[in-house]
Copies of this chain bind each other. A is one copy, B any other.
Amino acid sequence: MKEIEISAAPMHRLCKKVGADRVSDAAAKELAKVLDEIGNKIAKEALDYAVYAGRKTIKTTDIEIAIRKIIGK
């Protein structure tokens, strides 16, 4: 849970893509951290659905339903 899987480099790219000239390293890390947390929640929910369906492999359908539950979209 502590270790963040998402690295800062793609966060820099995300921010520059929307028009930022620069992004502080701390800002990029903060963005990576929050996305990692959301990803963790979705992954947990997705695994619950996979296990409920008798699998320990997460499939797209598990992710999709987990996204709807967590993000509400």
What residues of chain A have their CB less than 8 Å away from a CB belonging to chain B? 1, 5-7, 10-11, 13-15, 17-24, 26-27, 30-31, 34-36, 38-40, 42-44, 46-47, 50, 56-60, 62-64, 67, 71
Query: Which residue on B lies nearest to A9, using beta carbons?
Result: B5
Chain B positions within 8 Å of A14 at CB level = 5, 36, 39-40, 43
Query: Which residue on B lies nearest to A71, using beta carbons?
Result: B34
Contact of A20 among B18, B21, B50 (CB under 8 A): B50
Do the beta carbons of A47 and B24 come within 8 Å of each other?
Answer: no
Contact of A7 among B10, B43, B57, B58 (CB under 8 A): B10
A56 to chain B, nearest CB (A): 4
